[in-house]
Amino acid sequence: MNLLAIGAIYRFEMNRFFRTFMQSFISPVISTSLYFVVFGAAIGSRIDQVEGVSYGAFIVPGLIMLSVMTQAISNASFGIYFPKFTGTIFELLSAPVNFLEVVIGYVGAAATKSLFIGVVILATSALFVDLQVQHPFAMMAFLVLTCLSFSLFGFIIGIWARNFEQLQLIPLLVITPLVFLGGSFYSISMLPPIWQTITLFNPVVYLISGFRWSFFGTADVSIAVSLFAIALFSGICLFLVWLIFRTGYRIKS
């Protein structure tokens, strides 16, 4: 294992993050505050409680997941797409590294960035609402796993994308709707029966439900199913990444 190479990739990618640190820090703080103003104060005042939790607190896990998923995808996809765009990918291909080391470096950095943003949102939320975390270890585990699996997914998008439009396409057309419809801002039980069934086909539901369970101890679906869903998603992403490097798909001629 070329640990020095992994470290070099990781540091190089984190540098990109530190260059725009204020931007990376302020934007989640502002967007979280806006969500609390709109959903917490304006709408939340008309919704009393959801599953025994104040609406303001109820949306916190969903808010964190929303940002973490989109940030993980955009960081990881950009991280690997940019070298393809500038041509610096030649160095990665000619270096004595294997695919696993490249993935650990890039995905590790993207996951770290999104984890940081998740924690910032959690801290910002604590300023607005009274938060309780019943299972802190499970909460961190869910958060870290989500950061990792969505960074892996972003990495795949970055490899696949041929231009900047394609880079934005999947996050915009697939991920954002799935996250919004995945119970970020409501409980599945609030939907009409037919929509409750349809919603179960949305993988994001399981992630948000499991994550919310770690906060409040209540969930839309069983925690075991949530864990299985995130493990399955990570497994599929890992397999795709392995295939990409095996075949040199869109990176090697």
Q: Confirm or reject binding of residue 250 to other proteins (CB under 8 A).
A: no
Query: Near other proteins by CB under 8 A, which window of 91-99, 160-168, 180-188, 222-230?
Result: 91-99
Q: Confirm or reject binding of residue 248 to other proteins (CB under 8 A).
A: yes
Dist. CA 240–CA 221, nearest whole Å:
27
The interface with other proteins within residues 151-210 (CB under 8 A) comprises: none
Closest to 6 in 3D by CA, of 103, 101, 112? 101
Q: Confirm or reject binding of residue 19 to other proteins (CB under 8 A).
A: yes
Q: Confirm or reject binding of residue 100 to other proteins (CB under 8 A).
A: no
Q: Confirm or reject binding of residue 76 to other proteins (CB under 8 A).
A: no
- Is 143 exposed, middle or buried, given 0-12, 13-18 or 19+ CB atoms closer than 10 A? buried
Task: Select the residue interacting with other proteins from 18, 21, 25, 90 (CB under 8 A).
Answer: 90
Q: Confirm or reject binding of residue 218 to other proteins (CB under 8 A).
A: no
Q: Confirm or reject binding of residue 12 to other proteins (CB under 8 A).
A: yes
What sections of the chain are H helices per DSSP? 3-19, 21-35, 55-86, 89-94, 99-128, 136-160, 164-170, 176-180, 193-199, 203-216, 223-247
Q: Confirm or reject binding of residue 8 to other proteins (CB under 8 A).
A: yes
Task: Select the residue interacting with other proteins from 97, 129, 152, 161 (CB under 8 A).
Answer: 97
Task: Select the residue interacting with other proteins from 54, 82, 168, 200 (CB under 8 A).
Answer: 82
Of 9 and 219, nearer to other proteins (C-beta) is 9
Of 189 and 247, nearer to other proteins (C-beta) is 247
Query: Near other proteins by CB under 8 A, which window of 12-20, 51-59, 109-117, 127-135?
Result: 12-20
CB 97 to other proteins: min, Å: 7
Q: Show the tokens assigned to 182.
A: 């995945």
Closest to 6 in 3D by CA, of 108, 81, 151, 94? 108
Q: Confirm or reject binding of residue 243 to other proteins (CB under 8 A).
A: no
Using DSSP, state whether 53 is helix, strand or coil: strand
Task: Select the residue interacting with other proteins from 87, 137, 165, 246 (CB under 8 A).
Answer: 87
Of 86 and 194, nearer to other proteins (C-beta) is 86
Q: DSSP state, 49?
A: E
Alpha-carbon torsion (90, 93, 94, 95), positive or negative: positive
Q: How far is CA 59 from each of CA 186, 195, 203, 209, 251, rounded to the nearest angstrom?
A: 7, 20, 18, 11, 40
Per-residue b or e along 59-72, where b marks 16 or more CB atoms closer than 10 Å to that residue's CB: bbbbbbbbbbbbbb
Closest to 209 in 3D by CA, of 76, 24, 108, 62? 62
Interface with other proteins (CB under 8 A): 2, 4-5, 7-9, 11-12, 15-16, 19, 82-83, 86-88, 90-98, 248, 252-253
